[in-house]
Amino acid sequence: MRYWFGGGVADYAVSLGAGNAVLFEPGATLECWTAQTGGTRLDDLLDAGATPVTSVVAGDGSTVPVGAVPRFQAEDEVLGLWIGGSGGPRFFMWSTDLGAVLAGKLSLAGGSMEGELRLQDDSPAASQDFVLAHASGGAPSILPMSVTGILSVSSGTARIYNDTGRALTIGTVRASVGVAPAGQAVIVDVHKNGTTIYTNQANRPTVAAGQVTGTGGTPDITNWGVGEYLTVDIDQVGTTTPGSGLTVTIPST
């Protein structure tokens, strides 16, 4: 199935003018890719009239506002892509159908989820089977912690408490970003009651430069007792591009 992109309030092609003024770019030709750098170009596109196109052309003010990215459809089953001018920087864009797709996965009345939500490496982020099994003490639950916007080195203050009534075991932690770091990796640390669970700091979850997800090694401290809490620190960000939109998922059984 093809999903729709573009046509949103923030979907514009721009450039910097004198004094760093933001200028709309009428008629800019935009390419779609699977990654921020490298990757595979997505050139099997459909414009708003269902005409096959290989790139997207920003509006010139005639039928689409100047610089606006018009609505278009990407290749089958693509819900997110990187878009930018030829040879220029690429920016991540979600499909405007994403909300409807997620709504189709959730039963708001019953509070259940149909099917699976998966991370970019195709590992399960959550599923109905995970939730039902965990209710009886089986498969792991996945606890997400998120930091929006551009990343910076910081100490986490948001806490997740173990209110399950039983001790849990922490598994392999994954860190994922919406925009990949450049220059060096993003490194995060998980603390239990203020103390790192990675006595060996080399095992901290790491998102390598140019990548959008990565895991840590086995934590040195895996026991998470009743009433204890976890926090997440950002210990390192990219140098030329810090990275943004961090989500840290902590599995526990």
Dump the DSSP string for 177-202: -SB--BSS-EEEEEEETTEES-SSGG
Q: Delimit the CATH 2.60.40 region(s) of the chain.
A: 4-98
- pLDDT average, residue stretch 43-72: 95
- pLDDT average, residue stretch 246-253: 89
Count Cα neighbours of 173 within 13 Å in the Cβ-side half-sphere: 31
pTM listed for this prediction: 0.48
State pLDDT tens for residues 75-87: 999 999 999 998 8
Return the CATH architecture of domain 4-98. Sandwich (2.60)
**pLDDT of the residue at 123:** 54
**pLDDT of the residue at 132:** 42
Class of domain 140-252: mainly beta
Contact at 8 Å (CB) between 245 and 149? yes
Q: Delimit the CATH 2.60.120 region(s) of the chain.
A: 140-252
**pLDDT of the residue at 87:** 83
Residue type present at position 37: T
